[in-house]
Amino acid sequence: MRPMARRTFITSGLTGGVGCLIGRRLPAARAQGADSRIEVLPAEPIGTIAPELHGHFIEHLGGVIYDGVWVGEGTNIRNTGGIRQALIDALRPIKPPVVRWPGGCFADSYDWRDGIGPFDKRPRRTDFWVDSRPSQNREPTTGPQRFDPNRFGTNEFIRFCRLVGAAPYIAANVRSLPAKDLYQWVEYCNSPAGTTTMADVRAAGGDLEPYGVRYWGVGNEPWGCGGNFTPEEYATEFRRYTAWVPRFDVQLRFIAAGPNGGDREWTTRFFRQLSARGPGALNGVYGWALHYYCGSTGDRNATQFAVDDWYDLLARADRMESLITQHWSAMAESDPEHKVKLIVDEWGAWHAGAPDMPANYLWAYPGTLRDALVAALTLDTFNRHADKVAMANVAQMINTIHSLFMARDDKFIVTPTYHVFAMYAAHQRAQAVRTECSAPPVSFTKDGRSQTLWGLGGSASVRDKTVTVTVVNPHATEARECAVSVRGATIRDGRGTVLSSADLRAHNSFDQPNALAPREADVTVRSGAVVQILPPASVTRLQLTVS
Ligand code: AHR
């Protein structure tokens, strides 16, 4: 079933997926003086919106762990047990459900034993990312970004998760450690104190209670940095690494490393190979991890871009929709009952690092309003596929790629993307329902080619008598006057929140930390429906009380 139908009038050059129903003639909307329309269909449920769709990802890459998450105890920067307090405080209100660690590519060079036990006994290792610096014209530096001090290891990661109320998701090393290490890392984390030597080592570090880690990634990007495997080879490794891992009363959820973007063959061949062992073979796979980054083209500048680059990035972010449906159908060839769910454990807009960020921070830049719209339309896409996607992790939480936060020494800010996560938290655990949108599509030119993007994209969820609608207006200059209705119900009351700016490049900085923040918007209810102005270049959340 298509989550949002395109009713009519779609031009053949339309870019991207099914952001919302897109039309040119809008009889119902016109009748109310509006130029666009959103109709929520509560009778057509899609699935419960897993909180895990708002998951996060941290890796020892540039300034993510050291400086970002970990500031250490002997510092003036406020911290709890070495973890940046400002980060803890900012994360709690957005209810982070899960954090993935330690990578990323770093995971397949990481020896978890390096990061346990007394700090002064932990070895210093060459950082996996050290050689990427020249490609970014960055000077090599000393410090944790060059030689990993292993100060932030498993115990510290788990404490961070506990402080922010998130479940840990650990990605194990398949490229450079044997299967025994996954087994023993599970034992270290999950076996009760006093039972195994590993549990005693954990307890000696202060953590008597087992961690109960459920999510275990089996490698990362095995088609590339994770070992250059073929799908068949990786399927064999996956089976070997996950066979007979002790449970310690924890229902382990193994996540297999899936495709890069649209590589359907990776999906088809992995599933074929694994299921060749019989129908039960897929029982050991909880999730199939898709990675997809959209990024700016040209000089890949995060904050300096033209209007066509604005649309181009949004259109490429919108590709998430077709990636989900495409891999879902490839999985169905071997898994018709869909025992295995999709996990988009790396997604985001990836630009070049800003020159004014420290040399040892890789791909660090302050995300703009454009990145916030990428986040919003991506989270809407996940809502529309709540029946297929079990978890998604934005890459990455802080100081790199599609960050929610920027930190440097004692300075700390939230990005516009953070505000999107805050606005969308209202969807967590609600019932996603099909929603139809109609709006004039947007036209733009990219590389001399004329392209089209939908005019409004969004999603809706229902919890008791509250309907939450989130919607992106991608148009750079035109507001939409949008008639919003809930089929079979009467809207009694509504509250609105809007993130927008006249400046497409608007972003927060250490000097202007609140340059871009959401504001409340009036919602006028008439005859059981709403007509809402959706500003240009905006993300809007409507919380509607219905009867
Ligand atoms: O998020 C940065 C990197 O992108 C990750 O380490 C890797 O998995 C992906 O290629």
pLDDT-based confidence at residue 134 (cuts at 50, 70, 90): low
502 Cβ contact partners less than 8 Å away, ≥ 6 residues apart: none
- Mean pLDDT of all residues in 97-109: 97
Would you say residue 8 has pLDDT above 50? no
DSSP string, 299-357: T--SS---HHHHHHHHHHHTTHHHHHHHHHHHHHTT-TT--SEEEEEEEEEE-PPPTTS
In the reported structure, the alpha carbon of residue 215 is separated from the centroid of ligand 1 by a whole-number distance in angstroms of 18
Q: Whose CA is nearest to atom 5 of ligand 1?
A: 104
Rounded Cα–Cα distance for residues 99 and 389 (Å): 16
Q: Which atom number of ligand 1 is nearest to the Cα of residue 395?
A: 1
What are the distances in angstroms from CA 515 to CA 360, 408, 482, 537, 539?
26, 18, 27, 16, 16
Per-residue model confidence as pLDDT tens digits over 345-377: 999 999 988 888 887 888 999 999 999 999 999
For the stretch 428-437, what's the b/e string if a residue is b when 16 or more beta carbons lie within 10 angstroms of its beta carbon? bebbbbbbbb
pLDDT of residue 296: 79
pLDDT band at 130 (very low <50, low <70, confident <90, very high): confident
Which ligand 1 atom is at minimum distance from the Cα of 396? 1
Looking from the CA of residue 226, the nearest atom of ligand 1 is 8
Query: What's the CA-to-centroid distance between 97 and ligand 1, angstroms?
Result: 21
Nearest C-alpha to atom 6 of ligand 1 is from which residue? 104
The tens digit of pLDDT for each residue in 392-410 reads: 999 999 999 999 999 999 9
Average pLDDT of the residues in 512-532: 97
- The whole-number pLDDT of residue 137 equals 58
Interatomic CA distance for residues 215 and 101, integer angstroms: 11
Kindly tell me if the per-residue pLDDT of 81 is higher than 70: yes
**Cβ neighbours, 10 Å, residue 307:** 13
Bridge partners of 222, per DSSP, are none
- Strand residues in 399-528 grouped as ranges (E): 405-408, 411-414, 431-438, 442-446, 449-453, 457-463, 466-473, 480-486, 491-500, 519-521, 525-526
- For ligand 1, residues with CB inside 6 Å are 59, 103-105, 220-221, 346, 395-396, 401
pLDDT at 1: 28
Residue range 277-291: average pLDDT?
93
The single residue of 39, 52, 237, 346 carrying the catalytic annotation is 346
Report the residue among 127, 218, 221, 343 best suited for mutation to probe ligand 1: largest number of ligand atoms under 8 A from its CB.
221
| Distance in Å, CA 140 to ligand 1 centroid | 20
Q: Does 456 score more than 90 pLDDT?
A: yes
pLDDT category of residue 9 using cuts at 50, 70 and 90: very low
Beta strands (DSSP E) in 138-272 are 147-148, 167-172, 215-218, 253-260
Containing 190, the helix (H) or strand (E) segment is: helix 179-190
4: pLDDT confidence band, cut at 50, 70 and 90? very low
pLDDT bin (cut points 50, 70, 90) of residue 199 is very high
Q: How many A from CA of 307 to the centre of ligand 1?
A: 28
- Catalytic residue status for 346: yes
Residue with structure tokens 């070992």?
227
Q: Which has the minimum average pLDDT: 6-10, 148-152, 413-417, 488-492?
A: 6-10
Percent of the chain with pLDDT over 90: 85
Q: What is the DSSP string of 504-521?
A: TT-B--SS-TTSS--EEE
Q: Residues 437, 457: contact at Cβ < 8 Å?
A: yes
The span from the CA of 197 to the CA of 203, in Å, is 10
**What value does the mean pLDDT take over residues 490-494?**
97
Closest by Cα among 16, 130, 59 to 393: 59
Which pLDDT score is estimated for 474?
A: 98
Check whether the bond before 104 is cis (ω within 30° of 0).
yes
Q: Tell how far CA 140 is from the center of its chain.
A: 30
- SS percent in the chain: helix, strand, coil, step 5: 30, 30, 45
- Mind listing the pLDDT tens digit for each residue in 323-339? 999 999 999 999 999 99
292 Cα: distance to centroid of ligand 1 (angstroms): 10
Q: What is the rounded distance in angstroms from the CA atom of residue 540 to the CA atom of residue 420?
A: 9
Give the residue whose CA is nearest to atom 4 of ligand 1. Answer: 104
Whether the per-residue pLDDT at 389 is higher than 60: the answer is yes
Beta strands in 157-232 (DSSP E): 167-172, 215-218
Q: pLDDT for 43-57, tens place per residue?
A: 999 999 999 999 999
Compute the distance from residue 543 Cα to the ligand 1 centre, in Å.
35
Catalytic residue among 39, 52, 187, 221: 221
Please give the average per-residue pLDDT across 486-503, as a whole number: 98
| Residue 221 annotated among the catalytic residues of the structure | yes
**Best residue for ligand 1 mutational test, from 100, 101, 110, 225 (most atoms within 8 Å of Cβ):** 225
In the reported structure, the alpha carbon of residue 508 is separated from the centroid of ligand 1 by a whole-number distance in angstroms of 25
Residues 432, 459 contacting (CB under 8 angstroms): yes
Average pLDDT score, the chain: 92
Answer whether residue 132 shows pLDDT above 70: no
200-227 pLDDT, tens digit per residue, is: 999 999 999 999 999 999 999 999 999 9
Give, for ligand 1, the residue of 56, 57, 58, 59 to mutate: max count of ligand atoms closer than 8 Å to Cβ.
59
Residues 6+ apart with CB under 8 A from 163: 80, 83, 88
CA 42 – CA 123 distance, rounded (Å): 56
